[in-house]
């Protein structure tokens, strides 16, 4: 990981164009040709041909391949993005998801013609039930936040069915931002509970918030600090004694597979991020999948339809007859391709393999944390799970170098920056998740880069404040880039 990549400015496809060049050739038409004017209304026809680039196939391929290499991805470099589990995923799962029997399957085909797909979903549900200690799971939700919405709707339906219109949702101050947003979308109001000096939920503060209006406590465990809550049993008992339910945000399930089942620790509703934990390329806006599982009491409220198996015939079918269901969540039955990848990932690893995944992820995180502890502040000095949070407070106070500067400098070493400034309770936070898929050599190279950056912060802080220097685009004004995006190309302007 050395900052050696030169800046590269890729021309527009139009700049590669020359009249008369062609990318394709079509076979002779096998049906009688008709003028476009007979097929398309005159007012919709172009007066002049479209100004499309004229380029040969080799230039097209090289152009878009070069463009693809300008971005950072887990296939090209280390991606320790905290709380997102940006791990390398086996390409065999991609191949399986692209099998013609899956990709060519229309979602409106009748059940008798989709038995293979229904069986896959039926079996995947049972695997997730076993992993989470749950009674049933719906595979419909299309993302983690969608799973949160589903879970809170189930919780609302449960309370209303009991004649209670509970609307208070408690979230920790370290929670993912989607937790309070989802609660608000479901007609609830949010109350934040602070963390204690160990990074877990402050029990005394939680007790003061519990009353007969509490619908749920939404908790990520391990939390966004990468810490498993030492008081989870007590938390579950307190919430249940108040009549509320415990919701598990499964964003960090990569840390606990095979070691701790959420339902066994008191959670009533659990969502899984298949696109984080179970082999789907993560980021870029999708696709995602956020199945939601529940304990036995909440099964009647799951969305319709559910995949069922007729034990007498062995046939699979969709069950729509669920009177207390919260209804349907999305078109058809979720992002099926993601379900195929997750099924393949779980089958390939088996219970022992999934356990090893979590063990290696936790080992990698603790290794990095202890290696970097001498160079950065460690707000919570205790064994972490799959991720940990450092702080650049030391650098900021001494030389003015911020977490943002450190993140930008990492780009010059071919490393995607970790999550910064989250969780909000840590000043100048650097949230690192190495995952289980990186080698010791990669982890050591990351340590070397972080140590070198820490030394630069002491010796040449102004240089760090201008990083990155070797990426295709230099440092941007983040606020202005979001509010006033400028995507125009200007010849000779670096970073355009």
Domains (ranges, CATH) in the chain? Answer: 93-348 (3.40.640.10)
**What is the CA 274 to chain-centroid distance, rounded?**
8
In the predicted structure, residue 236 carries a pLDDT above the cut 90? yes
pLDDT score of 166: 97
Mean pLDDT of 226-242: 97
In the predicted structure, residue 339 carries a pLDDT above the cut 90? yes
Share of the chain above pLDDT 70, in %: 96
Say if CB 414 and CB 391 are below 8 A apart.
no
Q: Is the peptide bond before 9 cis (omega within 30 degrees of 0)?
A: no
86: left (phi over 0), alpha (psi -120 to 50) or beta: beta
Confidence of residue 490 (pLDDT cuts 50, 70, 90): low
Confidence of residue 283 (pLDDT cuts 50, 70, 90): low
pLDDT score of 445: 98
Say if CB 293 and CB 145 are below 8 A apart.
no
pLDDT score of 286: 65
Q: Is the peptide bond before 291 cis (omega within 30 degrees of 0)?
A: no
For residue 365, what is the enclosing H or E element?
helix 336-372
Nearest-5° angle of CA 255, CA 260, CA 266? 120
In the predicted structure, residue 23 carries a pLDDT above the cut 80? no
Burial 431-468 (b: 16+ CB within 10 A, else e): bbbbbbbbeeebbebbbebbeebbebbeeeeeebbebb
Say if CB 365 and CB 432 are below 8 A apart.
yes
Distance (Å, rounded) from C-alpha 453 to C-alpha 409?
A: 7
pLDDT averaged over the chain?
A: 93
Read off the pTM: 0.90
Tell me the per-residue pLDDT of 137-170, one tens digit each, with 9 for 90 and over: 999 999 999 999 999 999 999 999 999 999 999 9
Nearest-5° angle of CA 318, CA 264, CA 189? 75
Mean pLDDT of 176-187: 93
Confidence of residue 477 (pLDDT cuts 50, 70, 90): confident
Lowest mean pLDDT among 13-22, 160-169, 262-271: 13-22
Place of tokens 């609660």: 183
Tell me the per-residue pLDDT of 198-221, one tens digit each, with 9 for 90 and over: 999 999 999 999 999 999 999 999
Radius of gyration of the chain (CA): 26
Burial 86-97 (b: 16+ CB within 10 A, else e): bbbbeeebbebb
**Which tokens hold the place of 478?**
């983040």
């Amino acid at each position: 990981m050395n900052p050696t990549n030169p800046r590269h400015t890729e021309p527009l496809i139009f700049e590669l164009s020359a009249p008369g060049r062609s990318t394709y050739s079509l076979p002779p038409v096998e049906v009688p040709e008709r003028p476009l004017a007979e097929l398309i209304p005159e007012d919709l026809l172009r007066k002049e041909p479209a100004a499309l680039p004229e380029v040969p196939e080799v230039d097209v391929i090289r152009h878009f391949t070069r463009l693809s290499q300008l971005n950072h991805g887990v296939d090209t470099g280390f991606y320790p993005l905290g709380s997102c589990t940006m791990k390398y995923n086996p390409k065999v799962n991609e191949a399986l998801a692209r099998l013609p029997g899956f990709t060519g399957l229309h979602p409106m085909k009748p059940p008798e013609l989709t038995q293979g797909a229904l069986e896959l979903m039926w079996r995947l549900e049972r695997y997730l039930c076993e992993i989470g200690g749950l009674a049933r799971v719906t595979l419909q939700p299309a993302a983690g936040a969608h799973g949160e919405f589903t879970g809170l709707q189930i919780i609302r339906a449960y309370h209303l069915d009991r004649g209670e219109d509970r609307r208070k949702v408690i979230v920790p101050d370290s929670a993912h931002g989607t937790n309070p947003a989802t609660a608000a979308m479901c007609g609830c109001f949010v109350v934040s509970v602070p963390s204690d000096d160990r990074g877990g939920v402050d029990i005394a503060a939680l007790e003061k918030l519990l009353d007969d209006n509490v619908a749920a406590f939404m908790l990520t465990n391990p939390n966004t600090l990468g810490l498993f809550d030492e008081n989870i049993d007590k938390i579950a008992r307190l919430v249940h004694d108040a009549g509320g339910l415990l919701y598990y945000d499964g964003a960090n399930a990569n840390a606990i597979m095979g070691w701790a089942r959420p339902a066994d620790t008191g959670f009533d509703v659990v969502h899984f991020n298949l696109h984080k934990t179970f082999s789907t390329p993560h980021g870029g806006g999708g696709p995602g999948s956020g199945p939601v599982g529940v304990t036995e009491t909440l099964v009647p409220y799951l969305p319709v339809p559910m995949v069922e198996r007729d034990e007498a015939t062995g046939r699979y079918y969709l069950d729509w007859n669920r009177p207390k269901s919260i209804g349907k969540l999305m078109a058809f039955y979720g992002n099926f391709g993601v379900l195929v990848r997750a099924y393949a990932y779980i089958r390939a690893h088996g219970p022992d393999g999934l356990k090893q995944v979590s063990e290696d992820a936790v080992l990698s995180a603790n290794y990095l944390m202890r290696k970097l502890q001498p160079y950065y502040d460690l707000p919570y000095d205790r064994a972490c799970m799959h991720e940990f949070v450092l702080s650049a407070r030391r650098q900021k106070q001494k030389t003015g170098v911020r977490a943002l500067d450190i993140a930008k400098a990492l780009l010059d070493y071919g490393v995607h920056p970790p999550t910064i400034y989250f969780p909000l309770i840590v000043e100048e936070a650097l949230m690192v998740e190495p995952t289980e898929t990186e080698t010791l050599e990669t982890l050591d190279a990351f340590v070397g880069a972080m140590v070198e950056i820490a030394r630069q912060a002491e010796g040449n802080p102004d240089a760090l404040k201008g990083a990155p220097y070797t990426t295709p685009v230099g440092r941007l004004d983040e606020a202005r880039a979001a509010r006033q995006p400028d995507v125009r190309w200007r010849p000779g302007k670096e970073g355009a």
